[in-house]
Structure 1
């Protein structure tokens, strides 16, 4: 658990230095994943996105 805290702390510090909103970055990634892996095609499927 300590290692996870170390990684999170580093990510927060890096986002601060780079003036990146962590919330915006996460929401952007969620939107990209939703487009790449549509639920109706990918749910319960282990295929790569290029095979969907």
Structure 2
């Protein structure tokens, strides 16, 4: 189980228009910018500063 951490919303988007999330979840992670907003159900919030 992963510990709680903070991800940053990217300006890059998937084909559905949802932003990627930049995160560092574990030391052997291959990609730090991931398309996870549709597939995760444990995200408690996401915010964007403009």
Which TM-score bucket, shorter chain as reference? under 0.3
Q: Which has the higher strand share?
A: 2
Higher RCO, 1 vs 2 (CA within 8 Å, ≥6 residues apart):
2
Q: Which has the higher helix share?
A: 1
Larger Rg: 1
TM-score (norm 1): 0.20
